[in-house]
Amino acid sequence: MAQLDLAGVCVRYGATVAVDGISFSLEEGEIGCLVGPSGCGKTSLLRAIAGFEPVANGSIMLADTMASAPCWNLAPHRRSVGMLFQDFALFPHLSAAGNIAFGLRGWGKRAISERVEELLALVGLEGMGPRYPHELSGGQQQRVALARALAPRPRVLLLDEPFSSQDIERRAQLAQEVRQILRREHVTALLVTHDQNEAFAMADHIGVMNHGHLHQWADPYALYHEPADLFVADFIGHGALLAAEVRDAEQLETPLGTLHGRIPTHFRHGDAVYLLVRPDDILHDDTSEQRATVVNRTFRGADFLYTLALDDGEEVLCLSPSHHDHPIGERMGIRLEIEHLVVFDRAA
């Protein structure tokens, strides 16, 4: 049985539709993530799952409990849903242990003490229970907030931009740590983030939203390599959409030459399409006759991310080891290596 199941969920604010007909589910222990541009409905959907917003249509099930439906909204405190916010929202007058114990009202004193110690150990803060938030680093405060959210053993944990206040390196580390903690607790979780790397690091399933619609719900690999539509292809990861033309069921004419591979059967000879080309599809090759002009480059330590202009003016990205150092304006050799062709109808 799914721990979280959404079926055709709609959320409205007056005449404005914030969430429109969204369906997906998460099994026990799975981690889902919602990504999309600002204002696409991610946070509104999270608030509906938490019980802070009613649904206009559809339903939200938490295990075998109907949580939301038109004319029915189970109170937030009865949903067994935990929340982790981007600002941590720790109580400054309570110690780390006191913050974790806050949601355990009704538990016996011994049970509370055991659960607090268990969680401090789980998040790597053994012995820090007496410390107050101002005595902890940002990362330690984050762990206390996570432990507090996990304390009452919620059915589902919702995380709203939980790492946004951290620097890039710390965010990646925290995402991995939190994923491991959720795994150990067998917690079903749903994360909202603007950071795609964060989503790929944490999630079993990722949903891409825009204007209240869910364009695709898939595992990270499928989302990256098999985007459902042009919006997902353009939004997820770095990439370029090259104008191309279908020759037959296994040939595509592109600015980089004729490519061979399986093309979806609904395309016919002469159809105008877009080909999705990722930076890892373009390989640097000094021996290649195919050349492109470096128009921009970003040094990333182990590699350069080059922006290259093809002879027809279209641009692609190329990820190359940083010992291949090509200045802007240079013509560098490239070779296309695509395992499978991802194409979209240009007329769509």
Q: Are residues 251 and 189 in the same domain?
A: no
Q: Are residues 171 and 255 in the same domain?
A: no
Q: Are residues 251 and 332 in the same domain?
A: yes
State the pLDDT at residue 296.
96
- pLDDT of residue 1 exceeding 80, the answer is no
Sorting pLDDT into bands at 50, 70 and 90, what band is 330?
very high
CA-based torsion, 298, 300, 304, 309: positive or negative:
negative
Six token digits for residue 346: 């240009």
pLDDT in tens, 238-270: 889 999 999 988 889 988 888 888 888 788 888
Q: Are residues 306 and 326 in the same domain?
A: yes
CATH classification of the domain holding 277: 2.40.50.140
CATH classification of the domain holding 185: 3.40.50.300
Q: Are residues 242 and 218 in the same domain?
A: no
Give the end of a domain, one of 194, 214, 231: 231
Q: Are residues 174 and 283 in the same domain?
A: no
Q: Are residues 16 and 117 in the same domain?
A: yes
Q: Are residues 138 and 252 in the same domain?
A: no
pLDDT in tens, 51-78: 999 999 999 999 999 999 999 999 999 9
Is residue 156 classed exposed, middle or buried when 0-12, 13-18 and 19+ CB atoms within 10 A define those classes? Answer: buried
Q: pLDDT: is 5 or 322 the higher one? A: 5
- pLDDT of residue 130 exceeding 90, the answer is yes
Proportion of the chain above pLDDT 70, given as a percent: 99
Residues 6+ apart with CB under 8 A from 129: 95, 96, 97, 100, 116, 117, 120
Q: What domain count does the chain have?
A: 2
Residues 6+ apart with CB under 8 A from 337: 281, 282, 283
pLDDT in tens, 271-284: 999 999 999 899 99
Give the end of a domain, one of 187, 207, 231: 231
Q: Are residues 223 and 247 in the same domain?
A: no
pLDDT in tens, 191-200: 999 888 889 9
Q: Are residues 190 and 286 in the same domain?
A: no
Give the end of a domain, one of 193, 209, 231: 231
Q: Are residues 183 and 50 in the same domain?
A: yes
Q: Are residues 249 and 337 in the same domain?
A: yes
Range of the domain at 199: 4-231
pLDDT in tens, 141-166: 888 998 999 999 999 999 988 877 67
